[in-house]
A and B are shown apart, each in its own frame.
Chain A
Amino acid sequence: MRLENKVAIITGGESGIGKETARLFLEEGANVAIFDIFAGGVEKGHCDMGFPKDAELKNTLCLKADITKRAEVRSAVEATIQRFGKIDILVNNAGIIRDALVQKMTEEQWNEVIDVDLTGSFNSIQAVVDHMMQRGSGSIVNVSSVSGIYGNVGQVNYSAAKAGLIGITKTLSKELGRKGIRVNAIVPGFIKTPMTASVPQKVLDLMTEKTPLRMLGDPIDIAYANLYLASDEARYVNGCVLFVDGGLVI
C-alpha cells in the first residue's frame, strides 16, 4: 500500500474529486480526515461516506469545517492530530463555482469564490505548516484547474482563484522545500463531477471535442494524481504543476 501509516487531510472531501481521493487514500492505507461543510451535518467526526464500514469507523474522520474561517480550520487540524497523531498530507481540494460574465458578476460571487478556493487553501496550509515543519516532512497538493491556466468564459472569479493556487504552489515549494515539505499542484481538465453535473450536454460535447483523448476525465483520474504526488513515490517532485486533462487545449 502506497500510503501506509500516512495521515491525510482532504478539504472538500465530501463529494466529487475530494471524495474519490479520500476513498483511494483509504484503500492505499492512509488515515483520512475529511474537511467539508457537511450541510447534512456531521456529529463528532462520524462519517457516512459510503466507504467500506471498517475503514469508515477506524480510518476516517469527518470534520465540519468552513475553510474560510481560520479558527474552524485550526480546530479541525487539532482534532485530526488528536485522533491520528500527525499530519503527513494536505490536499487542498475544496472549491466552489459562482459563474457569471464579468459585467454581471456581483461582489459576493467574486468574494465567495476567492474566499473558498484561494484563501481557504492558504488558511489550511497555515494551519498545518507549523506541524509539518516540526516533523520535517509533509506533502501538500493543491487542486487547481484548467480554468486557472487558460481562462474560461464566465469564470473570472474561479480562474483568478485557481491561477492563484499555482502561485501559492510555486512560492511555497521554494519556502518550504528545505524544511522537507513538498508543495505541488494538479490541474484537472474537464472532469465528470457534481460540479459539472449541471453543465448542458451540448457544452459537455464541446469539452470532449476539445480534449485530444476524446473523453471527459473521471474523479479517479485526479485521485490517482493526488495519490502519486502525495506519496513517497514523488519525494523529489516539488513545485510541479501536473496537468491531468487528456491533452486539452482551450
Chain B
Amino acid sequence: MKRTAVLDGKAALVTGGSRGIGQAIAIRLAREGANVAVNYQSRKDQAADVIDFINKTDRIDNLDELVKMIDIMDTVEQAKEVRDMIESMGRHAIICQANVGKMDEVSKMRDKAVAEFGKIDILVNNAGIVKDKSFVKMTSEMWDDVISVNLTGTFNCTKAVIEGMLERKYGRIVNISSVIGRMGNRGQANYAASKAGIIGLTQTLAKEFADKGVTVNAVAPGFIGTDMLKSVPANIMEKILAQIPMGRLGKPEEIASAVAYLVSPDAGYITGQVLDINGGLYI
C-alpha cells in the first residue's frame, strides 16, 4: 500500500519559495500532489535595497555584502525555475511576487493564487531575511525590516488566507521558525525576536482555530546549509558544527519532509506544536 500524492487536489502557498528551504518545501509539496503558488520577494524592493546600500556607503569596501545582495536579485529567475520544476512534475504552479511585510501586496498575492487554484488549503510561512548586527550597532531599520518580513509577514499571510480556510473548515498552516528563536544568538536580536514571535503566534492561532478544522504548527530548523549560511566564516562554522550532536548541518529537504508530514492527513491530530529539526543542537 503506497501512500503517494496524499496532497492531491490541495493548493499550497509557500512564501519565500524561490530559494533554500522554501524551494525545497515547494517542490516537496508538489511531489505530494499539491498545486503550489511560489512567492518571492519583489525584485524592485531588492534593487532598492542595493541602491540604498550603495548610497549609504561612501566607498564600496564591503564587496561581499553587495555581491550577496545582487545575488538575491536573481530570485525571480529562481522562482521561475521552481515553477518549471513543479510543472514538469505534472502539478500546477504559479509564481507570485510580494513583499510579505506589506498587506496590500499579500492580498494581491492571495487573490492571484485563489484565482488560479480556487482556494488555498496549505500556507507555509517561510519567507525570512537576516540583517545581523551586534545589538549596540543594530539600527531601527534593521530591526524593523526583519520584524516586518519574518513576523508581520507571517501575520499578514495568515490573515489573508484564514477566512477561506474557515469557510471550508480546512486548513494547514506551517510557520518556519528557527532554533535562533528558541535559544537566541549573538548579532541576531531582530531575527531571534521575529522567530520567537512566530512560536507565540503559532500557539495562539492553534488554539483559536483548532475546532474549526485548521491546524497551525511550526518547524524550527537548526543550522541548515543554505545561501543564508554561505557568508559564515569557516572558523565560526567549525564552532557551530562542534555544538551539533549529529555533527553536520541540516539539508533543506530535511525541513521540507517535516512540513510535508505536518500538512498531511498523518498529522491531523497535531496542532500548536514546534517541531525542532536541528540534529540535537538545541533540545
Contact = CB atoms under 8 A, between A and B. Distances in A.
Contact of A178 (B2, B210, B246, B266): B246
B258 A237 contact: yes
Given A212-B211, A233-B257, A237-B277, A243 B2 contact: no
B267 A224 contact: yes
A239 B245 contact: yes
B220 to A, nearest CB: 9
Given A239-B283, A246-B210, A228 B272 contact: no
A234 B257 contact: yes
Contacts of A235: 254
Contacts of B207: 212, 247, 249
A244 interface: yes
20 contacts: A176-B245, A177-B246, A177-B279, A182-B280, A211-B210, A212-B206, A217-B269, A233-B258, A233-B261, A234-B257, A234-B258, A236-B278, A237-B254, A238-B280, A239-B245, A239-B276, A240-B275, A242-B270, A242-B273, A243-B272
Given A177-B247, A243-B272, 8 more contacts: A27-B1, A174-B283, A214-B210, A221-B270, A227-B266, A234-B257, A238-B246, A239-B280
A234 B206 CA distance: 23
A194 to B, nearest CB: 19
A247 B245 contact: no
A173 B210 contact: no
Nearest to A191: B269
Contacts of B254: 234-237
B1 A178 contact: no
B210 A238 contact: no
Given A1-B2, A178-B245, A173 B280 contact: yes
B245 A212 contact: no
Q: Which of B1, B244, B279 has the most CB of A within 10 A?
A: B279
Interface in B238-283: 244-247, 250-251, 254, 257-258, 260-261, 266-273, 275-280, 283
Given A227-B266, A240-B275, A177 B280 contact: yes
Contacts of A177: 244-247, 279-280
Contacts of A182: 246, 280
Interface string A110-137: 0000000000000000000000000000
Given A173-B245, A239-B280, A212 B271 contact: yes
A174 B245 contact: yes
Q: How large is the interface on B (under 10, 10 to 19, 20 to 34, 35 or more residues)?
A: 35 or more
Given A170-B283, A189-B269, A225-B270, A213 B277 contact: no
Contacts of B267: 224-225, 228, 244
A68 to B, nearest CB: 27
Interface string A13-51: 000000000000001000000000000000000000000
Interface of B: 1-3, 206-207, 210-211, 215, 222, 244-247, 250-251, 254, 257-258, 260-261, 266-273, 275-280, 283
A179 B215 CA distance: 35
A245 interface: yes
Contacts of A217: 269
B271 A213 contact: yes
Nearest to B262: A228
B283 A221 contact: no
Given A235-B254, A236-B254, A239-B283, A213 B246 contact: no
A187 to B, nearest CB: 9
Given A1-B2, A177-B247, A178-B245, A244 B270 contact: yes
B252 to A, nearest CB: 10
Contact of A213 (B245, B269, B275): B269
Q: Which of A27, A178, A213, A215 has the most CB of B within 10 A?
A: A213
Contacts of B210: 211-214, 246-247
B251 A240 contact: no
Across chains A and B, which 10 residue pairs bring their CB atoms closest together, nearest first? A177-B245, A212-B210, A239-B283, A224-B266, A238-B280, A236-B254, A221-B269, A233-B257, A239-B280, A236-B250
A176 B273 CA distance: 25
A240 B283 contact: yes
